[in-house]
């Protein structure tokens, strides 16, 4: 097996993607324990510490893993999941953990904890309302307060880290407080599926069905997870229908609207859209600042308004990241015992700030540049050297170097498998032209600004 050094950079990136896509819990249980162990015959080898994990990861994440690897390196044809073999010592710690988990799981049996625990911070009181989330918030409040089911289901959707899980937990907290007699279950679609598969395995599907069909309020988070998983989807469909037919409240969240959920059956999509569909839009500056101010008050160190404004301005991706930045700054100030300033904020958060600066992908750059110079996108990968296509290609390589964190060889690969020296040459050439040709320099500046927005 060859272990190309650069593969670990790709693996780090893929892990970041997986974490963002599937959420922290799923990531930590299934994906983080995987080890990159090699690359041969155009296939990446990943190992899992137990047989069960290997099979589960293969069936649930296998396709996504392959696609992500292909996205990184075109030649890759797929991913092989293997069992971490012949190393009894290394995974010991992990085995203990798994054993503990299984024991707890088995003990729960038909009990109450088919749901997942609620985060005590995720309440309505802690939720800051702004334009992007006002509809979702109002709908969630309504469901939590209503004595009769107001709309069924409530379908919340929006991008990562925008508050879907927070709102669902808030509903659950409120109902628990005001109507303790009602049985409220919150769980991720992944956990739903996991339990379903376990029930199938232990031939216990009757108990599984009954458990879910007897709840008053069922919340399933991140339902996109079961798109394409036919058996689970089927089971979910029946559970869903049974509850809605009995007029029990169902609340669903997803990263896309019902219609846009790929791999979801038509009848399912249509039923998901029957009640109220509320989307959470990307954050605005005002909302970000509001959230920062509220969260800053809970920190032990004062954060100057200027710093809050700076962060709300700079970190635009999502609220989770914004929170993370604020916590890091707070922890830093406490640790070194120095007041927070704009300057040390920039220092402490340089990696987060840079990641937010550079969200552009090479594909976007290629597309924009091709449009700008009115050439075909395929010329970005073609071998043609005519000036009319070679120059735009160089510009795109230059921008890829400036705006992404990719290395020269990585960039070369994305441009039809060119050598890193070609990319280096392009970067130099464009730099040179920029300093001698004003029109050209302005052109590049314009492209850069378009791509950064």
Smallest gap, in angstroms, from Cβ of residue 141 to ligand ADP? Answer: 13
Task: Count, in order, helices (H) and strands (E) of the chain.
Answer: 19, 8
Structure tokens at 401: 């170097």
* C-alpha distances in Å from residue 382, one per residue of 51, 177, 430: 44, 63, 19
Measure Cα distances from 316 to 129, 270, 307, 308 in Å: 17, 33, 15, 13
CB of 349 to ligand ADP, least distance (A): 17
Task: Give me 222's structure tokens.
Answer: 């991140």
**171 to each of 123, 174, 178, 227, how far by Cα in Å?**
8, 5, 11, 25
Shortest Å distance, C-beta 317 to Mg ion: 15
Tokens describing residue 327: 């916590």
Identify residues 411-430 at the interface with ligand ADP (CB under 6 A). Answer: none
Residue 270 or 327 having the CB closest to ligand ADP: 327
Place of tokens 């300093």: 435
Nearer to ligand ADP, 166 or 393 (CB): 166
Residue 128 binds which entry of ligand ADP, Mg ion, none, CB below 5-8 Å type-dependent = ligand ADP
CB of 319 to Mg ion, least distance (A): 11
Give the footprint of Mg ion on this chain (CB under 5 A). 164-165
Q: How many CA atoms lie within 13 A of 273 on its CB side?
A: 13
Q: How far is the CB of 322 from ligand ADP (least distance, A)?
A: 7
State which of residues 170, 185, 308, 319 lies at the interface with ligand ADP (CB under 6 A). 319
Q: Is residue 323 involved in binding ligand ADP (CB under 6 A)?
A: yes
Report the residue number, 140 or 243, with the smaller CB distance to ligand ADP. 140
By beta-carbon proximity to Mg ion, the closer residue of 168 and 426 is 168
Site for ligand ADP in 362-421 (CB under 6 A): none
Tokens 């199938």 belong to 200
Residue 197 binding: pick among Mg ion, ligand ADP, none (C-beta 5-8 Å cut-off by kind): none
The sheet with strand 154-158 has its strands ordered as: 184-188, 217-221, 249-254, 154-158, 276-280
The residue among 116 and 160 lying less far from ligand ADP, judged by its C-beta, is: 160
Give the shortest CB-156-to-ligand ADP separation in angstroms.
8
CB-based closest residue to ligand ADP:
163
Q: Which of residues 157-216 bind ligand ADP (CB under 6 A)?
A: 158, 160-166
Contacts of 329 by beta carbon, 8 Å cutoff, 6+ apart = 303, 307, 340, 345, 348, 349
CA 150 – CA 148 distance, rounded (Å): 6
- For ligand ADP, which is the closer residue by CB, 24 or 419? 24
Could you tell me which of 272, 287, 253, 258 has the C-alpha nearest to residue 166?
Answer: 253
91 binds, among ligand ADP, Mg ion, none (CB under 5 to 8 A by kind): none
Number of residues that this document lists for the chain: 453
Q: Which of residues 108-167 bind ligand ADP (CB under 6 A)?
A: 122, 126-128, 133, 158, 160-166
Q: How far is the CB of 69 from ligand ADP (least distance, A)?
A: 25
Please state the closest distance from residue 164 (CB atom) to Mg ion, in A.
5
- Per-residue tokens: 69: 């690897």
Burial of 241 (C-beta count, 10 Å sphere; 0-12/13-18/19+)? middle
Q: Which is nearer to ligand ADP, 162 or 268 (CB)?
A: 162
- Name the residues that contact ligand ADP, by CB under 6 A: 122, 126-128, 133, 158, 160-166, 291, 319-320, 323
């Amino acid at each position: 097996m060859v272990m190309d050094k650069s593969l670990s950079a790709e693996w780090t990136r893929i892990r970041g993607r997986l974490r963002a896509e599937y959420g922290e819990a799923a990531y930590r249980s299934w994906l983080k324990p995987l080890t990159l162990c090699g690359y041969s015959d155009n296939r990446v080898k990943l190992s899992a510490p137990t047989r069960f994990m290997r099979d589960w990861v293969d069936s649930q994440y296998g396709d996504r893993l392959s696609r992500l690897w292909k996205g990184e390196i075109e030649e890759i044809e797929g991913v092989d999941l293997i069992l971490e073999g012949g190393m009894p010592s290394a995974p010991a710690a992990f085995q203990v953990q798994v054993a503990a988990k299984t024991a707890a799981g088995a003990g729960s049996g038909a009990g109450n904890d088919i749901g997942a625990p609620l985060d005590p911070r995720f309440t309505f009181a802690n939720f800051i309302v702004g334009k992007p989330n006002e509809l979702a918030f109002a709908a969630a409040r309504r469901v939590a307060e209503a004595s009769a089911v107001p709309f069924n289901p409530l379908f919340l959707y929006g991008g990562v880290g925008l508050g879907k899980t927070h709102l669902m937990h808030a509903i659950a907290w409120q109902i628990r407080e005001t109507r303790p007699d009602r049985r409220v279950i919150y769980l991720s679609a992944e956990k739903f599926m996991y339990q379903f598969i376990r029930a199938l395995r232990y031939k216990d599907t009757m108990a599984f069905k009954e458990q879910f069909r007897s709840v008053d309020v069922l919340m399933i988070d991140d339902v996109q997870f079961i798109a394409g998983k036919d058996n689970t989807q089927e089971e979910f469909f029946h559970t869903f229908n049974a509850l809605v037919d009995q007029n029990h409240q169902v609340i669903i969240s997803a990263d896309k609207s019902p219609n846009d959920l790929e791999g979801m059956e038509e009848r399912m999509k249509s039923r998901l859209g029957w009640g109220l569909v509320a989307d959470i839009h990307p954050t605005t500056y005002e909302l970000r600042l509001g959230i920062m101010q509220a969260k800053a008050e809970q920190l032990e160190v004062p954060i100057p308004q200027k710093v809050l404004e700076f962060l709300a301005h700079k970190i635009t991706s999502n609220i989770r990241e914004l929170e993370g930045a604020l916590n890091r700054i707070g922890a830093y100030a406490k640790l070194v015992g120095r007041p927070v300033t704009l300057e040390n904020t920039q220092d402490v958060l340089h990696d987060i700030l840079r990641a937010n600066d550079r969200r552009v992908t090479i594909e976007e750059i290629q597309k924009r540049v091709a449009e700008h110079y009115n050439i075909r996108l395929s010329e970005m990968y073609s071998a043609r050297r005519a000036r009319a296509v070679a120059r735009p290609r160089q510009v795109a390589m230059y921008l890829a170097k400036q705006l992404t964190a990719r290395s020269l060889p990585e960039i070369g690969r994305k441009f039809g498998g060119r050598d890193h020296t070609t990319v280096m040459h392009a970067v130099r050439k464009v730099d040179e032209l920029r300093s001698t040709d004003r029109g050209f320099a302005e052109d590049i500046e314009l492209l850069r600004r378009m791509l950064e927005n």
